[in-house]
Chain A
């Protein structure tokens, strides 16, 4: 039995699949979130040492870093579906991009917000125009711009294409965010934000952080699929399968 991936590009086929997947993603979100938070609060050191002697407040890492990662990954996923939509003219691809965007925007905001509350006790400021912080803020505006542009155009297909183009052009910021602190020569990338290096994080801290990242992934799948379900119903409202779904007794 060969699986035909294009079969699921049809909204009528994808809708029931999304319905079946959503509860599973929510369950996984709950389990991973509970595990990640328990580990982050009770199985990790109370404070750090060396040249990073942070106290209890370092635990913001368990929300901040996963949220910042998700903000970038979800943008790439959104651009992927936008590009697929533009090339193949598939309705569902545009809907996918549209469904991912709000979750990406929320994670970007969460990264900026938790970062501000982390920066105040550790660096001494809520905000500074450092390359990392500034480029992440630009990403937030790109998400908002994508959503606003899509909402501003009444014709669904034109809105899809215009917003998709904006998303693709905005992809320029993602490598900038990454390289703003991870450039090959550390003396060249001057920033307030420290570099990132997973090998220099203690095992328990790393475990809690990665568990939270997985939880955020599952949350992203769950919310995106729920949004997608609504989008499919809205846009395919005239289709016969939606009519049948809404009126199972067949009164059209």
Chain B
């Protein structure tokens, strides 16, 4: 066997191992080092109680309330299975709105309310002018109500 062929096999093996390492890293990303916890995970006790974590989900429509000078806000974050109340003092980002995604960083208070230090807005991957987006959403809502299929992972993900 020529030296060149040996090197080719070695590099091939190295690339295979790197692929394996990548797959492991991706699996880790998907499971235990998730960036945020969903309300159901928090209810199930998976989120840490003694230090700061992130709570992610949809801002439940009709729950956003401003108090006093408008800097104190309260809203509920939901993943359509569980809901957590969030309290926050500060300016909300431009894209923050009811029905859209949000990620809040903070602690869970003993009374079960999530006290956020930072609230970020999470938008979807749709880059459409307002008119088109509206038509698409209506069509999507009609499609969902007509087919009446149980919500799949795909449709749940598409909504935030």
Interface residues of A (CB under 8 A from B): 45, 47-55, 58, 61, 83, 86-89, 121-125, 128-131, 168-169, 171-176, 179-180, 183, 185-192, 194-197, 200-202, 205-206
Interface residues of B (CB under 8 A from A): 4, 7-8, 11, 14-15, 18-19, 21-23, 25-26, 29-31, 34-36, 38, 56, 92-97, 99-101, 103, 118-134, 136-137, 153-154, 156-160
A-B pairs with beta carbons under 8 Å apart, 28 shown:
A45-B129, A48-B130, A50-B137, A52-B124, A54-B95, A87-B8, A121-B94, A123-B122, A124-B93, A124-B96, A124-B118, A131-B35, A168-B11, A172-B25, A179-B26, A179-B29, A183-B30, A185-B157, A186-B154, A187-B38, A189-B29, A190-B35, A192-B122, A194-B123, A195-B125, A197-B126, A202-B132, A205-B127
Main secondary structure of the interface of A (DSSP, over half): loop
Known pairs A54-B123, A194-B124, A202-B128; A49 contacts B29 (CB<8 A) = no
In the bound complex, residues from chain A placing their C-beta under 8 Å from that of B100 are 51
CB pair B130 A200 closer than 8 Å:
no
CB pair B128 A50 closer than 8 Å:
yes
| Number of A-B pairs, beta carbon distance below 8 Å | 171
CB pair A125 B120 closer than 8 Å:
yes
Instruction: Identify which of A48, A121, A124, A186 contacts B153 (C-beta below 8 A).
Output: A186
CB pair B11 A87 closer than 8 Å:
yes
CB pair A168 B15 closer than 8 Å:
yes
Query: Residue of B at shortest CB range from A209?
Result: B127
Q: How far is the CB of B95 from chain A (nearest CB, A)?
A: 5
A186 CA to B152 CA, complexed, in Å: 10
A171 CA to B25 CA, complexed, in Å: 12
Q: How far is the CB of B150 from chain A (nearest CB, A)?
A: 14
CB pair A185 B153 closer than 8 Å:
yes
A179 CA to B4 CA, complexed, in Å: 34
In the bound complex, residues from chain B placing their C-beta under 8 Å from that of A171 are 15, 18, 22
Known pairs A50-B137, A186-B157; A202 contacts B93 (CB<8 A) = no
In the bound complex, residues from chain A placing their C-beta under 8 Å from that of B92 are 124
Query: Residue of B at shortest CB range from A129?
Result: B35
Instruction: Identify which of B18, B103, B136, B156 contacts A172 (C-beta below 8 A).
Output: B18
Known pairs A125-B118, A196-B125; A175 contacts B22 (CB<8 A) = yes
Query: Residue of A at shortest CB range from B9?
Result: A87
In the bound complex, residues from chain A placing their C-beta under 8 Å from that of B129 are 45, 47-49, 202
Query: Residue of B at shortest CB range from A53?
Result: B95
Query: Residue of A at shortest CB range from B57?
Result: A190
A81 CA to B31 CA, complexed, in Å: 34
Q: How far is the CB of B71 from chain A (nearest CB, A)?
A: 14
Q: Besides A49-B134, A52-B127, A186-B158, 10 other CB < 8 A contacts?
A: A48-B126, A49-B129, A50-B128, A51-B123, A87-B8, A125-B93, A175-B26, A186-B156, A190-B35, A192-B120
